[in-house]
Amino acid sequence: MKELAVPRVNSEHALPSHTKSGRQPKAQFQIKELGKETWPDFERVVEKHNGVWGGCWCTAFHLKRSEEKEWAGKHRALKEKLVRKLDVAPPDWRITCFFIDRDHRKEGVSKAALQGALRIIVGKGGGTVDGYPIDTRGKPYSSSFLWGGTHSMFTKLGFRPLGALGTSKWIMRKVVRSR
């Protein structure tokens, strides 16, 4: 399986944040596949936030239990190694998390990223796409804990639930056809 991480790119032209100005801007997002060319943008956002949750670097879904000790404390190096070898697309995809710069949360970046990821997957031949969102059940939830996206966002984009992973985490799936 292949993980598709879609960070917010073009960070040199930061948009005004609704959290600072009190209003939500009408923003256009540019979504790109994480790869060799976009690695510097991803690296810049993750380093700004100290490696995402204390050093994860979005690698948790790549590691087997037997590999955890080998890569402990070296998640940045592992992520870069994985990104630099993304030349062959396997048939199945996982969208495991959305790491959104804290200055741009609640601006629709996750939805734009998910839509962009699905377009990229279509362009690479489609396949089965799994996501791991949180079901907020309509209750307020800290955006810091919505890194997997929301159940409602995935549902609106055509994913169907496969089952719960505890009280609020879900596995959802969508089959994406190529063009």
Pick from 15-29, 63-77, 101-115, 131-145 the range whose average pLDDT is largest: 101-115
| pLDDT (0 to 100) of residue 159 | 96
Q: Name residue, tokens 């159940």.
A: 151
Indicate the angle between helix axes 75-84 and 39-48, nearest 10 degrees.
160
Provide the CATH topology of domain 2-9+30-177.
Aminopeptidase (3.40.630)
For the stretch 10-40, pLDDT in tens is 434 444 444 455 555 567 878 788 778 888 8
Single-letter code of the amino acid located at 91: P
Count CB atoms within 10 A of the CB of residue 169. Answer: 13
pTM: predicted TM-score of the whole model, two decimal places: 0.60
All structural domains of the chain with their residue ranges: 2-9+30-177
Count CB atoms within 10 A of the CB of residue 55. Answer: 14
Question: Integer distance in angstroms from the first to the last C-alpha of the chain?
Answer: 21
| Beta strands per DSSP E along 4-62 | none
